[in-house]
Amino acid sequence: MAHGRPRYAQNSGAVFSLKYHVVWCPKYRRQVLVPPVDTRLKTIIGTVATEYGFTVHAMEVMPDHVHLFVAADPTRSVAEIVNRFKGRTSRLLRDEFKSLRSRLPTLWSRSYFAATVGAVSEAAIRRYIEAQKGV
């Protein structure tokens, strides 16, 4: 199965490679993810990933949306992964940046985009997310 390939992970019951490209936006697509909010958002995402055993392969924060290329084990649903990130970041950012409370009823819109990423498209997704910085 894995034969020592680093692109596969394993737990007690499975060998897997489950990677997702997820995107979510602030409520009303407001452009509120700007310095210093963007830097703090990235830090919180890193903390949540470590806490839940997610691996963030690439991340880009644009003023009105977040791109994340993240891997998780099969015990985590995509909805749980996104909700862990959105829940913690919303709570902490709204506590730390009062302007986010006054301008928005909630930080994030309820929806998100998610796509699975196979080994073939992994490099393309990394390039796409990294290229967002130049847009």
Closest residue by Cα to residue 70 from 22, 28, 2: 22
Helices (H), the chain: 37-52, 78-96, 98-103, 119-131
Displacement of CA 89 from its chain's centroid (Å): 10
Instruction: Write the CB contacts of 4 (distance below 8 Å, at least 6 apart in sequence).
Output: none
Say whether 128 is catalytic: yes
Contact 21, 69 (CB under 8 A): yes
Catalytic residue among 8, 28, 112, 128: 128
Closest residue by Cα to residue 26 from 95, 101, 96, 98: 101
Q: Which residues are catalytic?
A: 128
